[in-house]
Amino acid sequence: MENSKNVIFLDIDGVLQPTGSQLRFRHDLEKLKEDLALKYDNDEYLTMDQYDLGAVYYDWDKQAVERLRKLCVEAEADIVISSDWRLYSPLSRLKDYFRLHDLDQYLAGEIPQTSGIYRCGQVTEYLQEHPEIEKFVILDDAYVRDFSEKYPQQFVYCHYIFDEEGYQKAAKILGLHGAD
C-alpha cells in the first residue's frame, strides 16, 4: 500500500456492477478484447476472460464508477479490493480492469484470503497489518450484519449500486466536510 491514510474497501458486485446486469452479452466480447489490447497497447487483454472483461466494460455502472473516482480524488483515498473478484483475478489483472475506468492508479491492494474467516474478519486483518490507515470506508452489498456490528461508523451498505446517498455517507466517513 502507498502512503494513503484513507482507504476504501471495495466490493464490486452490487456496488459498481448492478446485481443482474447482463449488458455484456449484447456485444462481441472477442472484438472488445482485441480493441482494448490495441487501445492500451497491452496484449494481456487478449488473454482475459471475455465475460469478466465485458462485465467491467459494459456492466459497471458509469455513475457508480464516477462516484468512486470522485471519492478517491477528493478524499485522497486508495482502493483495497474486498470483493470476491480478488479470488480469481490477481491484483495486476484487477488493475488492468480498473484502467478501463481510469481508476487503476487508486488500486493499492486487496484484503487477505484467509480460510475460515469471512470478509469482515479479513478487513480487520488488513487493518491490523496497516496501522498507517487513519480513515476507511467499507462499500459492500453483503455481510451486512457483520459489517454493521463490527464497523457501524465505517460501513456503507450499497443496495444494488453505489448511489448518491452512499457516496454522501462515504464522503463524510472519510472526512469530506462538504458532503451533505
pLDDT-derived band at 116, boundaries 50, 70, 90: confident
Residue 132 maps to a domain:
yes
Domain range for 109 is 6-19+61-173
Mean pLDDT for 142-161 is: 95
Same domain membership, residue 142 and residue 156: yes
Residue 1 maps to a domain:
no
**Total domain count, the chain:** 2
Kindly report the average pLDDT of the chain as a whole number. Answer: 93
Residue 2 has pLDDT above 60, yes or no: no
Residue 180 maps to a domain:
no
Q: What is the pTM of this model?
A: 0.93
Same domain membership, residue 129 and residue 53: no
- Contacts by 131-135, CB closer than 8 A, 24 or more apart: 132/1, 132/3, 132/5, 133/5, 133/6, 133/7, 134/5, 134/6, 135/5, 135/6, 135/7, 135/75, 135/173, 135/174, 135/175
The H or E element containing residue 92 is: helix 91-99
CATH number for the domain that contains residue 128? 3.40.50.1000
Same domain membership, residue 35 and residue 73: no
What's the CA gap between 81 and 45, in Å, rounded?
A: 20
Model confidence pLDDT, tens digit, residues 59-73: 999 999 999 999 999
Same domain membership, residue 132 and residue 54: no
What's the CA gap between 154 and 174, in Å, rounded?
A: 9
By three-state DSSP, how is residue 139 classified? Answer: strand
Q: What is the DSSP letter of 91?
A: H
Residue 166 has pLDDT above 60, yes or no: yes
Same domain membership, residue 107 and residue 31: no
Same domain membership, residue 106 and residue 66: yes
Same domain membership, residue 28 and residue 14: no
DSSP string, 27-88: S-HHHHHHHHHHHTT-THHHHS-HHHHHIIIIIS-HHHHHHHHHHHHHHTEEEEE-STHHHH
Residue 178 maps to a domain:
no
